[in-house]
Amino acid sequence: MEIAVVSGKGGTGKTFIASNLAFYLNTRVSPTVAVDADVEEPDLILALGGVKETVEVLSIGNATKVRIVEEKCIKCLKCLNNCRFKAITLLDDKPFVKEELCEGCMLCALLCPADAIEEYVKVIGRLYVVKTRYGELNVVYGDLEIGERATGKLVFDVKERARKVASNIKAKYIIVDSAAGIGCPVISSISGSDLTLIVVEPSITSITGAKRALKIARTLKSKPLVIVNKYDLNPDLAGKIKEELDAEIIGYIPYDTGIVEAYTSMKPYLIYGGKDKAYSSLVKLLEDLVSTVI
Amino acid sequence: MVVVGVVGGKGGTGKTFVSVNLAVLASRNKHKTLLVDVDVDNPSTKHYLRLAKARSREVTMFKPIISEKRCKLCFTCINSCPEHALVYIPVDNKIKLLSDLCSGCSVCMYVCPEKAITEGRKTYGTITYAVIDRYLDAVIGELYPGERHTINLMIEVLSSIRDMVRKYDVVVIDSPPGVNAGIYEVVRFSDKLVAVTEPTRLGLNDLKKLVNLILKLGKKPLIILNKHGLKGGIDSEVIGYVEKMGLSLIKVPYSESIALKIMKGEVVVNYSEFTSVLNAFNEILRYVVS
């Protein structure tokens, strides 16, 4: 079973929910693989207390890029004028390719009358399979070169590798911690999942983001369930979320600085936070989720 | 005129909070200010402001239109499409576009020997231009849910304001989380950069990536340590890192009453009781206009 954790707005608690759900399932229910699908900023492993052992490192995202051969270029600017991604700009009166914007479509090469466009392949990221220090949970994550963009394809590759790991260790669950937003990488995170957990906080901006994420989950036929995090910071608005989103809410978790402290001490919250405010509501939510949905 | 890019790396560190409060404070000081929201996946500056005289325009991108009449089914387009977005459907005996896969590169149109492919347009988002008050205007990009062209839209928003920015004293750009090609463009576009972080391990981890990106482009960010004093936080580690990098830092304090104001969609600098927040923003504004 695949479960995606999304939010729309950043900072609502995706990584908090995903890390604890994966840790809980793995230690108490059945072997689990956790996936960090935020390939621009993979932080899931930090919330799980760090790496015990790196099992595998692979190159991912071989991307086609182009460069302009200066000696051949006749400065007709056909490349610059026709690139749909605005990836070519003028630098000292010469066309110059902004590498990170280049999609590798090769239209410029097709149109260049001087054969001045050269193609090359760039590895834009690495994929890691690791075991965590606490509970030996298998985590699969991608890490991109700075400035490269996360694409749906990259997230798909990371998830595919996680599925292989899951089948090797006979894991029953795959938990996908998505990036913020609702763009291509998030669509890819949700795509193919059975369940989408939408983490929302009682702020106007988070509710708007959640609505957008909800729309995508429904389109992709992944069952959406909502978790209201930090509900006690704004109880009035928290009470209106059910009505606002028109979706099933499976739990309310209070704001707890113990979560920050757990990150600080590099321990999973479920190990660190036994006496903290959010602990009992989190455990109840996880128990309910396991007994009723999963 | 000064363009300030507000960036942050991790989500939820307070980019929008800083952008909106900085823009409001600047306009209150009679600087003609433009607030630009390029967090097109989830633009949220609008929730803090009352938009007047808002007009929106649709943003479009290339989409191939295939003329069945002209198409001789040579498959050159299918073989040239880098995204594999064109497929042959045997039962219909025609070539079909899988719109979700199309990146809009237009290679198919150029390679077709029959000139059977022409330029069509597909709408994937909007840009809204609005007036907030006498000294404050806003430009907001918004991606249609389900569309994947986040970075294209960010670049469209930035190009659309290129000629407008001259009319303003201060331009504040609110950006999405992450460190990608879109953030590159925000950094390139901006004269000054403000990187918003929080005292958590996740925040610091992402800040380091972001600072590397900014330094790589030959610029230096001002670091805002938001939520300073958050219980259990790693403030001293963040401050130590910023000092080591030789960067300046301004602290914005944390309290639950500030968090509640933000969650309710309020502009904190409009409330006189949050003196320490106001002081911090005055300091940020001085840096911006200096």
Cβ neighbours of residue B75 under 8 Å, at least 6 residues apart?
B88, B95
CATH of the domain at B111: 3.30.70.20
Cα A113–chain centre separation: 42
pLDDT single digits (tens) B143-179: 998 888 999 999 999 999 999 999 999 999 999 998 8
Q: 3-state DSSP call for residue B18?
A: helix
Range of the domain at B82: 68-115
Query: According to the model, what pLDDT value does residue B100 have?
Result: 83
Examine the domain organization and report whether B90 and B176 are in the same domain. no
Residue A133 and residue A273 in one domain: yes
Give the pLDDT confidence score for residue A153 in this predicted structure.
83
Q: Does B234 touch chain A (CB under 8 A)?
A: yes
The A residues from 43 to 72 touching B (CB cutoff 8 Å) are: 43, 46-47, 64
Q: What is the pLDDT of residue A61?
A: 82
Q: How far apart are CA B9 and CA B47, in angstroms?
A: 21
Residue with tokens 């938009």, as numbered in its chain: B51
User: Starting from the edge strand earliest in sequence, which strands make up the sheet with A195-200, in order?
Assistant: A51-68, A117-132, A138-144, A32-36, A173-177, A2-6, A195-200, A223-229, A249-253
Do B97 and B205 share a domain, yes or no?
no
**What residues make up the domain containing A103?**
70-115
B113 touches A at CB < 8 Å: no
pLDDT category, A277, cuts 50, 70, 90?
A: confident
| Amino acid type, B227 | K
Q: Are residues A171 and A214 in the same domain?
A: yes
pLDDT for the residue numbered A47? 95
What's residue B139's pLDDT?
A: 98
Neighbours of B88 (CB within 10 A): 13
Round to whole Å and give the CA distance between A242 and B130.
Answer: 31
pLDDT digits (tens, 9 = 90+) for A221-266: 999 999 999 999 999 999 999 999 999 999 999 999 899 999 999 9
> Of the residues A115, A150, A181, which one is the last residue of a structural domain?
A115
Burial class (CB in 10 A: 0-12, 13-18, 19+), B22: buried
The enclosing domain of A105 has a CATH number of: 3.30.70.20
Q: Is residue A120 part of a domain?
A: no
A55 in the same domain as A134: yes
Q: Which of B40, B76, B105, B256 to mutate to test the interface with A (most CBs of A within 10 A)?
A: B105
Supply the CATH number for residue B243's domain: 3.40.50.300
The per-residue pLDDT for range B28-80, each reduced to its tens digit, is: 999 999 999 999 999 999 999 999 889 999 999 999 999 999 999 999 999 99
Q: Is the pLDDT of residue B124 over 90?
A: yes
Q: From chain A, pick out residues whose CB is under 8 angstroms from the CB of B178.
A: 38, 40-41, 150, 179-181
- Best A146, A188, A233 residue to mutate vs chain B (most B CBs within 10 Å): A146
> Tens of pLDDT along B235-258?
999 999 999 999 999 999 999 999
H or E element in which residue A96 lies = strand A94-97
pLDDT digits (tens, 9 = 90+) for B175-206: 999 888 899 999 999 999 999 999 999 999 99
Q: Is residue B120 part of a domain?
A: no
Q: What is the pLDDT of residue A155?
A: 92
Q: Categorize the per-residue pLDDT at B270 as very low, low, confident or very high, splitting at 50, 70 and 90.
A: very high
What region does B139 belong to: left with phi over 0, alpha with psi -120 to 50, or beta?
beta
Closest CA to B221 of B195, B182, B249: B195
Residue A235 has what pLDDT? 95
What would the mean pLDDT of A111-120 be, rounded to a whole number?
Answer: 97
- Shared domain for A163 and A278, answered yes or no, is yes
ipTM of the complex, rounded to two decimals? 0.88
Give the tens place of pLDDT for each residue, B87-118. Answer: 999 999 999 998 888 999 999 999 999 999 99
Q: Do residues B188 and B107 both lie within one domain?
A: no
Note whether residue B163 is domain-resident.
yes
Q: Residue B178 forms beta bridges with which residues?
A: B9
The reply to whether B99 touches chain A by the CB within 8 Å rule is no
Q: Is the Cβ pair A147, B180 closer than 8 Å?
A: yes
For A144-160, write each residue's pLDDT tens digit: 888 787 788 889 999 99
Nearest residue on chain A to B212, alpha-carbon basis: A146
Which of A49, A80, A115 terminates a domain? The answer is A115
- Which pLDDT band holds residue A292 (cuts at 50, 70, 90)? confident
What is the percentage of chain B residues whose pLDDT exceeds 90?
93
With a CB cutoff of 8 Å and minimum separation 6, the contacts of A130 are: A45, A51, A52, A53, A54, A55, A138, A139, A141
Clarify whether residues B50 and B134 are in a common domain. yes
A183 and A231 share one domain: yes
A38, closest residue in chain B (CA to CA) = B178
Give the model confidence (pLDDT) of A22-63 as tens digits: 999 999 999 999 999 999 999 999 999 999 999 999 998 888
Say whether both B130 and B103 belong to one domain. no
What's the domain count of chain A?
2
Do B147 and B18 belong to one domain?
yes
What pLDDT sits at residue B148? 85
